Structure 1
Amino acid sequence: MSEQADVGPLFRRLSAIPEATVSRRRSGPGEGELGVVETLQLLVPSAAVLTVAIRTLPAFIRSRRSSVTVTLTQGDRSVTITGANLDDPQMVLEITDRLLGHD
């Protein structure tokens, strides 16, 4: 996720979820690029905690003016969502959750 100032509220919200561990990493731009990329990594002990975390994402995605990329990984399965101005981020995240096998 990019734009460091915009990631702070999501980091704080995810950090408040009981039993969730959130780490934050910033990296500089690649050669010929501008800007900073900031990545949040969320580790959860169960599908229930993951569900709580996923429910925090739609408001964050809706508030973004630039594009956002969210990757959800469980075991050896991973789903990445990339978009800008998503009309219904909740629906996108529900589909992602199903793809990870959380029917």
Structure 2
Amino acid sequence: MSAQNSGTAPDAAETLFTCAVTVSEPAGVGPLFRRLGTIPDVAVTRHRSGPQDGELGVAETLRLLVPSAAVLTVVIRTLPAFIRSRRSSVSVTITRGDRSVTFDGENLPDPEKALEIANRLLGDD
């Protein structure tokens, strides 16, 4: 299991929001991990889990710790470039609790809507 903290670590007194990030293409996890690790105030860890019953292989997810919707917005705004850079069709899903949003080549996040999406993921409503 690898872990990476980037930029300045969020202050311990701040509220941190945990989000899980999954990539449809296993080969995309490492590149997305490295890309997200360059964003200030985002702590990114890489988690591997064994296969479920009847499945083969290892599932990898990224866990983000973000201090605010504004920082999650920066994460969301990096996804179009990442998705376009992949040779094959790839989708990225960000999940927090029972809320999730999936991005792919068909529905890339609009920069103006990124803060709205982040607020929906992190909000209490």
TM-score where L is the length of structure 1:
0.69
CA contact (8 A) 1:67 1:82 kept: no
- Aligned-residue sequence identity (percent) comes to 54
Matches within 5 A, 1:1-103: 1=22, 2-62=24-84, 63=86, 65=88, 68-73=91-96, 78-82=98-102, 85-91=104-110, 94=114, 96-97=117-118, 99-100=120-121
Unmatched 5+ stretches in structure 1: none
In the TM superposition, residue 67 of structure 1 has moved relative to its aligned partner by 5.4
Q: Name the one with the larger helix percent.
A: 1
Number of equivalences: 96
CA offsets 1:22-43 (integer angstroms, 9 cap, x no match) = 0110112111112321110111
Unmatched 5+ stretches in structure 2: 1-21
Root mean square deviation, CA, Å: 2.8
Q: Distance in 2 between matches of 1:41 and 1:54?
A: 14
SS state at 1:9 partner: helix
TM-score where L is the length of structure 2:
0.59
